[in-house]
Amino acid sequence: MIPKGIPFLLYTILIFTLFFACQKRKNFTADNPNNTVKIEKIINEADSFYKNKKFDSAFYFYNRARTKCNPNEDAKNYVYCMYYMAEIQQDHEDFIGSTKTATEVIPYLNKIKDPNHKWNIYSVLGRNYYYTYDYPNAIYYYSKAFALKVDRINVLEAKNNIATIYLNQGKYNKALQIFLSISKEKIVQQKPIYYSKILDYIGICYFKLKNSKALAFFQKSIQINSEAKHEDGLGKTYYNLAKYYRNNKALSMMYAKLSYKNYTLSGNTNDRLLALKYIIENTVSPAETKEKALLYIKENRHIYAFRQKAKNQFAKMKYDSKREKDENLKLKAHKIKSELQLEKQESKNIISYIIIIFASSLIVFIYYYLTARNNRQKFEATYQSETRISKKLHDELANDIYHTLAFVENRNLSAEENRNHLLKKLDDIYSRTRDVSMENHSILSSQNFIISLKEMISGFNTPQMNLLINGLDEISWDLLDEIKKVSVYRTIQELLVNMKKHSNATLVAVTFKKRDNTIIINYTDNGKGIDSNKMVHKNGLHNIENRILAIKGKVEIHSDFGKGFKVLIKFPA
């Protein structure tokens, strides 16, 4: 909390200086916000190339984007790029390179909220291990993908991949149950190409189990793929039918050639060679066998050379980007070192400014604190002096004398009781004149305050004027300090003296209330009042205001000529 009286400007300067220092440090360590925009722009280019099946260009831009990513702060874009790089490597049968690329992002998967990115990485790893016949690891990653809360179709895809491994392991019944459960899913049935693939797998399971139901599933798959004009799906089912009719050479070769034709149309090189190999193995004619064999060797050599070139190209891209990144890091390290030296110097300057401002603020604080304390002490001393000398010797004694005169005027002094009371009053005035310090203690002590206040008020009661008091006993006067009680006593005395001198009132009411932590005093009389437009605060009213303001209270005076006189007093308890 800022102490009262300290200039706010100095604190504002101090706060802004500290903020500036922190902001400088933050700016020094923070990444360039434009870097994210650049990365996303490069990723958009890579996505465009990938969509148009220009995989070498796509790989280049994905690799370029990921080298600009900080995986600890931008894990999402980093994992996204690495996934597509692993996909491209996998499509070119670089399973080892794809596995290495995908594995690099595993430590950063926990920084990503979207489970679909995790699903992509686990799936590509599962396929890599599947294609390299490492079925335990393949099932491990497919199971991790299956456990994620992703779209239903992705969950079923992971489930399908696990069943495919069981199929390759010869666990046909286990695989069949999974494929049958997938085929019953409505979302699968609404996707013709995916549904036909599941039907084909079911047909293979029944075929391996030597169940005649296999043919119906193969035929259903062909019907769906034909309607969808899906050559790759047709090639797969025709190949399975060629093996299904292996005992019928003519029918088997017909389906094998249909498989080769559709794989050629779809551009599926791997499976086209698989169908060609089956044709070579089952061709009776030596001339045809030789022709197909030469074609197989030629295409296989071409594919191998293409894939080997792609592997080398992708490996070189990653190596070049790593070397470039290392060189950039060296340059950045040199730049950061220079910036750190400048930053240290700036930090020293800022610390010096802070010390100067802090010292200045501390000096100002001490000055204002001591000044405020001195003023407070002076005020208290002035108040005590005013209370004990000015108020008590002049105003209060004058009021007591006037009160005594009023008693003489309104009482029968021939009565012994009244004469004794008068003598007591005169003796009391004399005693307080002689020793002012004893006056307040004798009249306004905590124990005698209510009695003294009632006695003083009742002294103004005459046969021609009724004086009513309400609520006096309901306030815990013992909890108030001496200054407040003296102020209350003298304020009410001043009001009654003024009433007696000027108002000619026949009815006076004084009401005491305590509301929350505030004491409220209402004074009302039916005297002649004062014209509010011509009201002048003479000694009496001026004294009342000074007393109440001194105890942090408020005074409101309401009066109109001929309509009585009202005073509302409020002060904290």
Q: What DSSP string runs through 454-521?
A: HHHHHTT-BTTBEEEEESGGGS-GGGS-HHHHHHHHHHHHHHHHHIIIII--SEEEEEEEEETTEEEE
> Residues of the chain with pLDDT > 70: what percent?
79
Higher pLDDT, 522 or 405: 522
What integer pLDDT is reported at residue 20 of this predicted model? 52
Question: How many beta carbons lie within 10 A of that of residue 378, not counting itself?
Answer: 10
- How would residue 537 be classed by pLDDT, with cut points 50, 70 and 90? low
Count of helices and strands (H, E) across the chain: 22, 5
Query: Could you read off the pLDDT of 40-83 as tens digits, one per residue?
Result: 999 999 999 999 999 989 999 999 999 999 999 999 999 999 99
pLDDT score recorded for residue 8: 55
* Domain count of the fold of the chain: 4
Residue 137's pLDDT is 96
Predicted confidence (pLDDT) at residue 183 exceeds the cutoff of 50: yes
> Are residues 566 and 433 part of one domain?
yes
pLDDT at 311 over 70: no
Same domain as 478, residue 433 = yes
**What pLDDT, on the 0 to 100 scale, is given for residue 534?**
62
For residue 528, the SS3 value is: coil
| Beta bridge partner(s), residue 555 | 569
Which residue in this structure is represented by tokens 């910036």? Answer: 339
Per-position DSSP letters for 370-422, written without gaps between them: HHHHHHHHHHHHHHHHIIIIIIIIIIIHHHHHHHHHHHHHHS-TTSHHHHHHH
- Do 561 and 471 share a structural domain? yes
- Report the C-alpha gap between 270 and 296 in whole angstroms: 11
Domain that holds residue 102: 34-150
Residue 23 lies in a domain: no
Shared domain for 174 and 270, answered yes or no, is no
Angle of CA points 517, 518, 519, to nearest 5°: 130
Of 261, 292, 307, which closes a domain?
Answer: 307
Residue 114 lies in a domain: yes
Contacts of 512 by beta carbon, 8 Å cutoff, 6+ apart: 469, 470, 471, 472, 474, 475, 519, 520, 521
Of 334 and 211, more confident: 211
Same domain, 298 and 415: no
Q: 9 lies in a domain?
A: no
Backbone torsion region of residue 94, taken as left when φ is above 0, otherwise alpha when ψ lies between -120 and 50, otherwise beta = beta
11 assigned to some structural domain: no
Report how far residue 25's alpha carbon sits from residue 20's, in angstroms, rounded to the nearest whole number.
9
pLDDT at position 394 = 61
CATH of the domain at 517: 3.30.565.10
Residue 273 has pLDDT above 50, yes or no: yes
Flag whether 476 is in a domain: yes
What span, in angstroms and rounded, lies between the C-alpha atoms of 548 and 85? Answer: 85
pLDDT digits (tens, 9 = 90+) for 384-403: 655 656 666 566 577 778 77
The structure tokens listed for 444 are: 């306004």
Same domain, 435 and 560: yes
> Is 163 inside any structural domain?
no
Task: List pLDDT tens digits, range 10-37.
Answer: 555 556 555 555 554 444 444 455 688 9
Of 283, 222, 278, residue with least CA distance to 250: 283
Q: pLDDT higher for 361 or 165?
A: 165
pLDDT at 432 (0 to 100): 59
Q: Determine contact, residues 263/272, Cβ cutoff 8 Å.
A: yes
- pLDDT-derived band at 335 (thresholds 50, 70, 90) equals low
Taking 80 as the threshold, does the pLDDT of residue 167 lie above it?
yes
Average pLDDT over residues 202-209: 96
Domain contains 120: yes
Digit-coded pLDDT (tens) for 560-571:
888 899 999 999
- Listed in sequence order, the residues at least 6 apart from 196 whose beta carbon sits closer than 8 Å to its beta carbon are 220, 221, 224, 225, 228, 230, 233, 237
Question: Is there a single domain that holds both residue 406 and residue 546?
Answer: yes
CA distance 115 to 150: 6
Over residues 235-253, the pLDDT tens digits come to: 999 999 999 999 999 999 9
- Domain end call among 229, 260, 276: 229
pLDDT at 322 over 80: no
Top pLDDT among 288 and 437 is at 288
Q: In terms of domains, do 113 and 206 share one?
A: no
* Statement to judge: residues 448 and 478 lie in one domain: yes
- Residue range 479-523, pLDDT digits in tens: 888 889 989 999 999 999 888 888 889 999 999 999 989 999 999
The predicted structure's pLDDT at residue 554: 95
Mean pLDDT of the chain, nearest integer? 83
Residues 471 and 488 in one domain: yes
pLDDT at 439: 43
DSSP readout, 249-277? HHHHHHHHHHHHHHHHHHT-HHHHHHHHH
* pLDDT for the residue numbered 4: 46
415 found inside a domain:
yes
| Same domain for 523 and 450 | yes
DSSP string for residues in 194-244: HHHHHHHHHHHHHHHTT-TTHHHHHHHHHHHHHHHT-HHHHHHHHHHHHHH
d(CA 548, CA 391): 13
Q: What is the predicted pLDDT for the residue at 23?
A: 54
> If you average pLDDT over residues 181-207, what whole number do you get?
95
Does residue 476 share a domain with residue 400? yes
d(CA 506, CA 498): 14
Interval 362-383 mean pLDDT: 76
